Chains A and B, each alone.
Chain A
Amino acid sequence: MTHWIILLIILPAILAPFIVLAARYHMGIQRVFSIAGVSALIAIAASLAWQASDGTIILYRLGDWAAPFGIVLVGDRLSTIMVLLTSVLALFVLLYAIGSKWDERGRHFHALFQFQLMGIMGAFLTGDLFNLFVFFEVLLIASYGLMIHAGGDARLRAGVQYVLYNLLGSTLFLFALGAIYAETGTLNMADLADRIALFDGTETVGIRIAAVLLLLVFAIKAAIAPLHFWLPSSYSEAPAPVAALFAIMTKVGAYSIIRVYTLAFPPDVDVTAGLHSLWLLPAALLTMVIGAVGVLAAKKLDRLVAFSVVGSMGMVMVAIAQFTPVSIAAALYYMMHSTLAAATLFLISDLVRSSRPHLRLTTELPVSGAALTAAAFFVGAIAMAGLPPLSGFVGKLLILDASYTSPLVVWIWVIVLSASLVTVVGFARAGSTIFWKAESVEKPEDYAPDPRPSALSYVAVGGLVSLLIAHTVFAGPMHRLMSDTSAQLFAPEPYISTVLDTPGRLSKPKDASDTAEKKEE
């Protein structure tokens, strides 16, 4: 048992208080440590992802106590890929925050950022439902601080909504956990999988309610209609680098749905029969419609991007709700794309904000650095709307292709295609109003362009754009990786046996070979 996997959680957990306590008044030191920490996370996450890529399940028992009594961290393909995505995204977001000096506008940006990373990493790696709750709270409480970073009335107001909505979500999560514990007597996901398989179709009221409650909680996180109301205001009012980091937070909800409903409540178990096809899929389609309409109706650029995030979460959930290996693979591919695209667009809207603070979609003088910003917006919009040649198109194609087996295939095709069209129109309108027509405005006599955003900001945006392009160019290998990941999710026996059968401190060795194994570790 190596200790690398716990470092993903421990490292930010140590860095954050260090930054608060030791480097409080030295922005330079804070930045150096923040960047160094995130780079180390990328290195660790990459090596773990490589280690897990051959199907190995990395298990870490805290204090060497065996599951289901001890707390375990589990790294399989899905977890390690998500962790790697988080850390790479975090690096570019951090570069942008430093380049645009967002981190100087309030206090403790870097410390909260590290705590946020700790929560997200933990949520992806934990093998236990209650720890999922705890890590959700860690990432939420850090996100509350980041959300209202730099203050301002509108931001505080949106912050109140965001905090209250998530507090209600957390309460619901606890109700779901209590119900699951009362019904099964365990909260370890692998153990839960074993016990739920024992339900024989009688007396399943409690566990059914628990499954639905849990789905509702994750739906809040993933912003699925009708539980998406928190997202547009909070994401558009949050500081741009924070909104870009939040792009991964909706994916934490999607990840949790994939994890829990392939492992603990697999699609073929009759406790949750009909839950996904009857409820989740139509809700996902509705989410996509709302996202597209919101993109078209938005009067400000940041709200437009926020609604496009709602729409892309709808797209992800359409694929997830079908729960076939092919559709989950497509969903994972699209999820990575949508995280990168959303983060890119949030950062670009901040580039526009630097010379147009209100972000309204009206024709005004060109924003400073318009050529580069407009080009980046063009790429980001194409990616988000799902036009060829970028990865959004590939992802949508994969999802449409995966939905042939669904009974709602006609609905899926019609809604996905028309929502994409509406999104394209919305983005085209925004882009042409802000960037294209700006040249037609007559410049006043004393016109002096605003200072350009710093080079580092463009490096961060450029980095994300190049990741999007790489995600498109290497779509073949990526999709193969996602298919392997999905196949691993739908054959959970190795996961369950690794978690439950690895002996720990409490387990008595059954014979000599067991003891030998233990010594080897």
Chain B
Amino acid sequence: MELLVASAIGILTAGGLYLVLRLRTFPVILGISLLTYAVNVFLFASGRLTVGSPPVLRDGVTNYADPLPQALVLTAIVISFGMTAVVVMVALGAYLGSDDDHVDDPHEPAQDGDAS
């Protein structure tokens, strides 16, 4: 199971990074979503991998899952969800305004020769 989880995190991260480097808003946003999935799984794994064990105290149970990473993941999911919504809206505004969905600065600036 460790191998499966670890390679899932690795593949998600690699795919996410590749998409982020595409530098157009849609692939970049998809890439960031993949990265947040990767980090969510990673946070889960930081509390050690257990199967079917309860996170809260219960009679007759000896093995527990660590509840803290689950709470952290919940927070992280909510935050990344909100952030993705924001970035989609801002990116959409930028695309509709300038009719260009590149993330980086344009090569030849429009009027002011702004090289820096």
Please report A residues at the B interface, Cβ cutoff 8 Å. 130, 134, 137, 140-141, 144, 148, 151-153, 156-157, 159-161, 163-164, 167-168, 170-171, 174-175, 177-179, 181-182, 232-233, 294, 297-300, 303, 307, 358, 360
Contact = CB atoms under 8 A, between A and B. Distances in A.
Given A167-B32, A168-B32, A171-B32, A148 B93 contact: yes
A151 B93 contact: yes
Interface in B12-38: 20, 25, 28-29, 32, 35-36
A433 to B, nearest CB: 15
A163 B112 CA distance: 24
Contacts of B69: 178, 181
B97 interface: yes
A134 B83 contact: no
Nearest to B28: A164
Contacts of B105: 157, 233
B79 interface: yes
A297 B90 contact: no
Contacts of B112: 299-300, 358, 360
A130 B70 CA distance: 13
Contact of B42 (A130, A175, A233): A175
A298 B32 contact: no
Q: Which 7 A-B pairs have the closest CB atoms?
A: A182-B46, A156-B94, A153-B97, A178-B46, A174-B39, A178-B43, A153-B98
Nearest to B101: A160
A299 B29 CA distance: 32
Determine the interface band of chain B, counting residues with CB < 8 A from chain A.
35 or more
A260 B44 CA distance: 24
A182 B45 contact: yes
B102 to A, nearest CB: 9
A174 B25 contact: no
Contacts, number: 108
Contact of A164 (B36, B75, B93, B103): B103
B35 to A, nearest CB: 5
B87 interface: yes
Given A168-B32, A299-B114, A300-B112, A177 B43 contact: yes
A511 to B, nearest CB: 28
Interface of B: 20, 25, 28-29, 32, 35-36, 39, 42-43, 45-48, 68-69, 72, 75-76, 79-80, 82-84, 86-87, 90-91, 93-94, 97-98, 103-105, 112-116
A144 B86 contact: yes
A137 B75 CA distance: 11
A171 B82 contact: no
B50 to A, nearest CB: 14
Contacts of B25: 160
B116 A297 contact: yes
Given A161-B104, A168-B35, A178-B46, 10 more contacts: A152-B97, A153-B97, A163-B87, A167-B80, A167-B87, A177-B72, A178-B39, A182-B47, A182-B48, A299-B116
Contact of B116 (A167, A170, A179, A298): A298
B103 A161 contact: yes
Nearest to A358: B112
Given A164-B87, A168-B32, A153 B39 contact: no
Contacts of B48: 182
A152 B91 CA distance: 13
A141 B90 contact: no
Contacts of A160: 25, 87, 90-91, 94, 103
Nearest to A233: B105
Contact of A159 (B90, B114, B116): B90
